[in-house]
Structure 1
Amino acid sequence: MNMKIKKRKRIFSLMLCMLLFLLLPMPSLGAENSSINTHARAASLIDVESGRILYSSRGDEPMPMASLTKIMTAIVAIENGDLDGIVKVSKNAYAKEGSSLYLKLGEEMTLETMLYGLMLRSGNDAASAIAEHVGGSEEGFVFMMNAKAELLQLKNTHFANPHGLDAKGHYSSANDLAVLTAYALHNPVFKEIVKTEVKTADNPNEKWDYKWRNKNKMLRLYEGADGVKTGYTKIALRCLVSSATRNGQQLVAVTLNDGNDWNDHASLLNFGFNHYPLKTLIKRGDKVSGYDLFTSKDFNYPLGKGEQERLITTMILHSESKSGKSKLRPVDFGLQGFLQLQLGGKEIGRIPLYAPDTLPPKTPIYNKKISTEPTVAYPSNTWLQAAVSTLRALFQAGGRETYHD
């Protein structure tokens, strides 16, 4: 009998130990991420220069994005439109539901001025007017938005309109919005618009001018804040993309469905600046030790504690073999190869190497393999024409909810 009792005690003790083990916190590979707790359904943090995602929580999950849509609307319009061109408010754009600039039917305004209204006051009427002006119709412009999303490799994003009103097939993810915003912030026009706190504009219909105050409170609440966009619908709830620059480093934070977004964005940005400072690893014109070769550009990258020691740099030269011997190519306009930088087995950058006196002119910092060419569009005034426009472009280029924000 005693043996049975002892056996039961051992089994009970073993089960208790297993239960305690299961209740203990498990170690995490992303230990740094555990230091952030947000109220968001999804969140992301990205370094603008390198495009490195520094933090992500449910970052690839497609969700409603509300007026964060207008980030894509703005960059597509800037890249494809004439900023001095005159945008006319149509019946479709006039009195658009939700947040509005309260533009009059037939009112005219330059594209650049209307973009300020779009991004500072989140005017849905401005979004529709801009879309029709640049894309020929809303449908034509939405095609351009989705084409741009594909070029930027935003795999969890699809647009159904240019303003962000809730609609079937209209969604994005926190990581996609981070990548999109980092891309857009390399455009000087976009960058200037989204950091503007107050914009005045001529009002042809009244004695007083328009005065648009930016809805993004981060510009006033956070030191170094310089963008980007707020959003809200009954389905998406509170959405926010913010950016800030400190010590030459610009970060973008994204939250979707976050009831405490102002504070959460401050925490996300502080985390990035404190734990992943931007470091200069290579400077343009540096000589490669032991070779008569020079680097063609600066390379800056945000690194966490201990990461710089784990960097692996490999030199890969273009060479040709003669009788078993290798030598540098005399051609390629002086390009002789590149330095490959790896972190954790993943390539984070390539720096072209040139022979003396052959360095090309400086190129933009943002060196991702994405197209900045204007998206193909054809004028269209009806849905049918927009459909035809879409088909032509493909061959050539190979219930709403009440809304405010």
Structure 2
Amino acid sequence: MTKSPTPLARQPLKLAFALLLSACVLPAQAKAPSKQAAEHVPSLSDVPINAKHVLVLDEGSGKVLKEKQADSVVPIASLTKLMTAMVVLDAKSNMQEVIRIDSADRDTLKHSLSFLPVGAQLTRQDALTLALMASENRAAAALARTFPGGLAAFQLAVSAKIRALGLTHTQISEATGLSPQNTSTAIEVAKIAAAAARYPAIADITSDKKATIPVSGRKREFHNTNRLVGKKGWDIRLSKTGYTEEAGRCLTMRMLSGGKNVTVVLLDADGSAARLQDAGKIRRSLEKARG
């Protein structure tokens, strides 16, 4: 008489039979997917973004999470001021030195408004804060004009910084970003943001919601041009906005979202609301992907 298989010998048979049954289950017998499985979490790459040029980069892995015409050379408006700030800090000038707003600092290209009248006095440090946080064009122009060696030396320093960062598609013709000749790509703006983040002063200033600055001895409160800074749910480590007619609405940020340190670059959005909506979509997508 043939002996019955031992329990151990039956295991492969049971497994094969179970697999065969699962392969032959009729549609009506199929188990309904769980609610969690049924919910489709769209990839960030599928999320529609208004800005014409986009890059979202995972800083930890270097992985590109989303890109849209990220290698097109376009005007970058006041994102320029990140480069201005780095060059000014590299010069190691006395940041407590008082500088004066001159008529040469006025915007004769776009005729933009300014909180700094000609003759106003403030420290170089406060001028840096206003240039970065409030995107004050006269402050940025004054920083370049009072650069050691003057405007010519400032321009040489900017060109050297561009080469040092390995930027081959970036051109900076002046300190404020008002000129449409200040151009870059979303990819290279991300590199500029990464370099700027290594300067604690730039990271601190651009991630503050507001600052009180004495101008000619009178204290005034200035707010960050990025309304997302300091807002609940946002952990922004570096930020800079920009706008000109040629550049559209621009934004670069480094932030913690969805458990990732990410860099976001948005160039040429149709308006301030569209720019904020783009940023919100990106953050929500990263948070959902984490969940």
For 1:179-218, what aligned pairs fall within 5 Å after superposition? 179-204=191-216, 208-218=218-228
Q: Does 1:127 align with 2:137?
A: no
* 1:59 alignment partner, one of 70, 88, 98: 70
* 1:250 alignment partner, one of 261, 280, 285: 261
Q: Does 1:98 align with 2:78?
A: no
Counterpart in the other structure of 1:285: none
CA distance in 2 between counterparts of 1:276 and 1:99 reads: 43
Letter in 2 for 1:101: F
More helix by share: 2
Contact 1:46/1:253 (CA < 8 Å) preserved in 2? yes
Higher relative contact order (CA 8 A, sep 6+): 2
SS of aligned partner of 1:54 = strand
* 2:57 alignment partner, one of 26, 46, 51: 46
Q: How far is 1:57 from its partner?
A: 1.1
Q: How many residues align?
A: 243
Deviations 1:166-188 (A, max 9, x none): 34x32111111111102211221
Counterpart in the other structure of 2:19: none
For structure 2, the residue ranges without an aligned partner over 5 or more in a row are: 1-41
Counterpart in the other structure of 1:322: none
Counterpart in the other structure of 1:164: 177
- TM-score of the aligned structures, taking structure 1 as reference length: 0.55
* 2:275 alignment partner, one of 261, 273, 291: 261
For 1:278-317, what aligned pairs fall within 5 Å after superposition? none
For 1:16-35, what aligned pairs fall within 5 Å after superposition? 32=43, 34-35=45-46
Letter in 1 for 2:74: M
Contact 2:254/2:264 (CA < 8 Å) preserved in 1? yes
SS of aligned partner of 2:251 = strand
Counterpart in the other structure of 1:292: none
Q: How far is 1:142 from its partner?
A: 2.4
SS of aligned partner of 1:154 = coil
Contact 2:44/2:285 (CA < 8 Å) preserved in 1? no
Q: How far is 1:237 from its partner?
A: 1.3
CA distance in 2 between counterparts of 1:192 and 1:121 reads: 14
CA distance in 2 between counterparts of 1:110 and 1:252 reads: 31
Counterpart in the other structure of 1:317: none
For structure 1, the residue ranges without an aligned partner over 5 or more in a row are: 1-30, 278-405
Contact 1:236/1:257 (CA < 8 Å) preserved in 2? yes
- Residues 1:51 and 1:34: Cα distance change in structure 2 (over 3 Å): closer
Q: How far is 1:201 from its partner?
A: 1.5
Q: Does 1:178 align with 2:190?
A: yes
Contact 1:231/1:239 (CA < 8 Å) preserved in 2? yes
- Residues 1:173 and 1:276: Cα distance change in structure 2 (over 3 Å): farther
Deviations 1:117-161 (A, max 9, x none): 101211110111001222533343122222211211122110111
RMSD: 2.5
CA distance in 1 between counterparts of 2:267 and 2:258 reads: 27
216-225 or 255-264: which moved more? 216-225
Q: Does 1:75 align with 2:86?
A: yes
SS of aligned partner of 1:180 = helix
- Residues 1:99 and 1:157: Cα distance change in structure 2 (over 3 Å): farther
CA distance in 2 between counterparts of 1:66 and 1:222 reads: 27
Letter in 2 for 1:229: K
- TM-score of the aligned structures, taking structure 2 as reference length: 0.75
- Residues 1:233 and 1:276: Cα distance change in structure 2 (over 3 Å): same
Q: How far is 1:99 from its partner?
A: 4.3
Contact 1:132/1:138 (CA < 8 Å) preserved in 2? yes
- Residues 1:138 and 1:249: Cα distance change in structure 2 (over 3 Å): farther
Q: How far is 1:40 from its partner?
A: 1.1
Contact 1:42/1:255 (CA < 8 Å) preserved in 2? yes
CA distance in 1 between counterparts of 2:52 and 2:241 reads: 16
Letter in 2 for 1:104: V
